[in-house]
Amino acid sequence: MALIGVLALQGAFREHEKALRSLGAEVRELRQPQHLEGIDGLVIPGGESTTIGKLLVELNMMEPLKRRLLDGMPAYGSCAGLILLCRDIEDSEQPRLGVLDATVRRNAFGRQVDSFETSLPVKGLDEPVQGVFIRAPLITRVGSGVDVLARVDMAPHGGAGEEIVAVRQDRILATSFHPELTPDTRLHQYFLDMLA
């Protein structure tokens, strides 16, 4: 079975670990560069993207992780994880892996008090997932090689039209929302299937 490294520097990493283990995956918490040895895939949880990015630099993990991703190691990022994977972050120079050809807007839905849940159709899944959005980012631009998997209606949140909240580029999966905070493990299974 695949060995999945879950970045455990900050954020909701334990919830991702629980979901992955429930699907039979072996999980290793990543806190030091040597923890990257032998992992088959990477999960970057939600949390504070600025803090996680700074810690990746301080712990000398940023460049080794980026190399592994550029070499084709599968990765899944939720919320802050999505931000760290994106090439461009609006109005920010924060450290990032930058391997996903997309632009992201941080905290696009507002503050913590503006958090919400919604039923969300996701391309490739038969039934909608429950999207949990907590100070969530939005993807404002995608490159030609990026497949949009889900959009959310922004009208209830003061926006216009539908905005991108889940994407896949080759072996990189990213969501604005937090599937790890629900009992539904289908997106984690989708990620594990990418390793096959």
Q: Point out the residues that are catalytic.
A: 79, 178, 180
Q: How far is CA 166 from CA 67, 127, 129, 193, in A?
A: 23, 15, 12, 17
Contact 176, 138 (CB under 8 A): yes
**179 Cβ contact list (under 8 Å, min separation 6):** 19, 78, 129, 131, 132, 185, 186, 187, 188
The whole-angstrom separation of Cα 132 and Cα 115 is: 8
| Helices first, then strands: H and E counts in the chain | 5, 12
Distance CA 50, CA 130 (A): 26
Of residues 117, 88, 116, 112, the one with CA closest to residue 100: 88
Q: Which residues, at least 6 apart from 162, have a Cβ–Cβ distance to it below 8 Å?
A: 151, 152, 153, 154
